[in-house]
Homo-oligomer: A and B are copies of this chain.
Amino acid sequence: MKRFNALIEGMKLMGMHNIAQVTWKDVKLGEGFWGKWQQTNARSTVNAVYDRFFETGRINAMRLDWKEGMPNKPHIFWDSDVAKWMEGAAYILYYHEDDELRQKLEQIIDLIEAGQNEAGYFNSYFLTCEPDNIFQDRTAHELYTAGHLMEASIAHYYSTGSKRFLNVMTRFADYIEQAFKLNKTANYSAPGHQEIELALVRLWQATGEKRYLELSKHFVDVRGTDPHDRIFSVRNGTWPADPPLNSQLLYNDTYAQDDAPARELPAAAGHAVRAMYYYSSMADLARVYNDEELYQACLRLWDDATLRKMYVTGGVSGERFGEAIGASYILPNQDSYAETCASIGMAFFAQRLFSIHPDARYADIIERQMYNGALAGLSLDGSAFFYDNALKSAPAHNDFLKGVHDTRNLFPNYRRERVFECSCCPPNILRFIAAIGEYIYATEKDTLYISQYVQSNADIQLASGALHVAQTTNYPWTETVSIQVDAARMPDAVIALRMPGWCVNPSVSVNGAAVYDQHTLASGIELKHGYLYIPMSMIAGDTVELKFPMPVVELEANPLVAEAAGKVALMRGPVVYCLEAADNDFNLFDMIVLRDPQYRQDLRDVNGVPVVMLQGQAAVRSRGNWEQTLYRMGSSKYEKVAFTAVPYFAWANREAGDMSVWLQKESNLFGE
């Protein structure tokens, strides 16, 4: 049993907490919702991603023997794809014996070890294709790639206990420290694509070497302060006279969060994945350095991202060109962006903010990503992926555009792909699910936080000793969670249970007696920032029963979200729903949910995976009279239809067809 940030010492903790997540190693998931996903991950996804990466040359690129004229020229960011796969594989191998998988992983480490140059550098593209241009081009993703490789090496170390790969990566980190901080031989100050900042914090946690923490801080501090870095941005439409090598369009300073130093960033903006990784590292550093200014910046960015720029699915956000966080409240449904990686990145950010301040809103967002924004990126059989995620999809429209614009991609796909040219999302969802255990439990001194309700059991170290905790639940499909904890052993400890933000009337009982119900607290129980604090001494019989009623609810969006005006999104528990043509033989986009839809729900099977589906009542216009009419006056009569909604994460697993998250709702303007 180990906490990765047990090495944090001597920190001043004034207003900030220092909550430690219980790691993926210490949590076993069993056969619940996420346990099954981890099995799919281990049996299908990890192999599917590897095979595609092998076929596309990503694995062999690391042999560094590519020559001009050969197929599959290495790409600047390929190593990052492989690194995320390695990280996921390392997590999986801790629980699942798989010799073939282990061999694949170790062979890639062999390649990296062999390929690392004398200085400590590794990047299969630059070592093969442009060895003289190392760290010359800020847009070339070298530090991003290095960060992911570091994370992979840390996972490998925790999973296997071997420091072989970790040592390769600390050498690389040492070289980066020289190039960017000590000797400043690199041609820019801050990475074009953030990631290494959070990886270096983890490298410090894994090794205890504080230089890595300080290097992370260096990168965060320098960002937005070096005018030279901005040369690589396109300002006011002017492309730099001499564009950098392999340059890609950085639309403006905001694109890569270069518009201001971290502590002054005014709003969540720019490339969404860069933003989320960056903000995550800012939160890490705010906590470790007790940096109030940086923390306030994090809170400002968090509020902006989650209160104005997030889809109901958790998707971040609406600006396709630039893969960016859009403007406030501009959340288009059909031409959404909502990259799978950005949802995962927002979970990273949320987890780190929770470590500073235990507030259920962070776990609420993690849950939203787990069951919606992130999970939607993966097919039910674990082998196919979405990069960007639509909230509304009309395949006929996509196909029409494809016929007209061969190179444009105005809407997200309506079919999942097995690999992408820029294939960051598939291995990202792989590693996210493989380490999903990390989001469930956390500790601070003698308080045990339970943030996610997942069938699992865990060995947990509190200040005054170790304890075992188990959850029995079929969450998110069923409303009840039973928590077994050896409370009697640690009467001075406290268990803090998250009351989900989506739940109107949660109830908690101990040994059959309610301690929280109808928003009434039993004596000795506290509710703070969405967590119910129960002294272990009150937990007779070692069992806490939770009930989270899960009626179907209709969510409205803020009136400023024009794309959701007059519409509702269906949610049951933490799961957001959508309608698909596969279940509904009428025009989804014309459909209006009745004022009283008489919702029903049942467990059904989609491609072998059980999911709760919803049924409700709605109305659509008959198309019969409209064949020769495009516009007409007067109001059409509607026909009743029964609709079926499927969890958003499960869409696009059957025949392709229309899909919509937001549904028109029968008006009820002034109440009944």
Contact = CB atoms under 8 A, between A and B. Distances in A.
- Which of A405, A555, A587, A669 gathers the greatest number of chain B CB atoms within 10 Å? A669
A183 interface: no
B327 A559 contact: no
B633 A307 contact: no
A179 interface: no
Interface in A304-319: 306-308, 310, 312, 319
A621 interface: yes
Contact of A633 (B234, B330, B553, B566): B553
A638 B670 contact: yes
Contacts of A569: 631
B555 A664 contact: no
Contact of A404 (B307, B312, B321, B502): B321
Nearest to A635: B668
A237 interface: yes
Nearest to A502: B633
A406 B562 contact: no
B403 A629 contact: no
Shortest 4 CB-CB contacts between residues of A and residues of B: A237-B406, A562-B589, A327-B400, A638-B669
A251 B623 contact: no
Nearest to A586: B559
A323 to B, nearest CB: 11
B237 A631 contact: no
A667 interface: yes
Contacts of A401: 319
A103 interface: no
Copies of this chain per assembly: 2
Contacts of A251: 404-406
A626 B558 CA distance: 6
Contacts of A306: 630
B554 A633 contact: yes
Contact of A406 (B236, B324, B669): B236
A308 B627 CA distance: 9
Interface string A7-20: 00000000000000
Q: Which of A310, A403, A590, A631 has the most CB of B within 10 A?
A: A631
A324 B631 contact: no
A319 B408 CA distance: 13
A637 B670 contact: yes
B322 A405 contact: yes
Interface string A618-661: 01110100101111111111100000000000000000000000
Contact of A669 (B558, B619, B634, B671): B619
Q: Chain B CB within 10 Å — which of A306, A406, A407 has the most?
A: A406
Interface in A378-417: 394, 396-397, 400-401, 403-408, 410
Contacts of A631: 312, 555-558, 569
A454 to B, nearest CB: 23
A633 B556 contact: yes
Contacts of A637: 669-671
A565 interface: yes
Contacts of A556: 631-636
Contact of A237 (B394, B407, B623): B407
A658 to B, nearest CB: 9
A628 B361 CA distance: 13
A590 B571 contact: no
Question: Which among A254, A561, A592, A630 has the greatest number of chain B C-beta atoms within 10 A?
Answer: A630
A252 interface: yes
Contacts of A252: 403-404, 406
A408 B327 CA distance: 16
Contacts of A404: 251-252, 254-255, 319, 321-322, 324
A224 interface: no
Contact of A559 (B321, B557, B621): B621
A321 B408 contact: yes
A381 to B, nearest CB: 30
A631 B570 CA distance: 11
A594 interface: yes
Given A251-B404, A327-B397, A638-B670, 8 more contacts: A237-B407, A251-B405, A321-B408, A557-B630, A559-B626, A560-B590, A566-B566, A635-B668
A163 to B, nearest CB: 44
| Residue from the set A569, A594, A621 with the largest chain B CB neighbour count within 10 Å | A621
Contacts of A321: 404-405, 408, 410
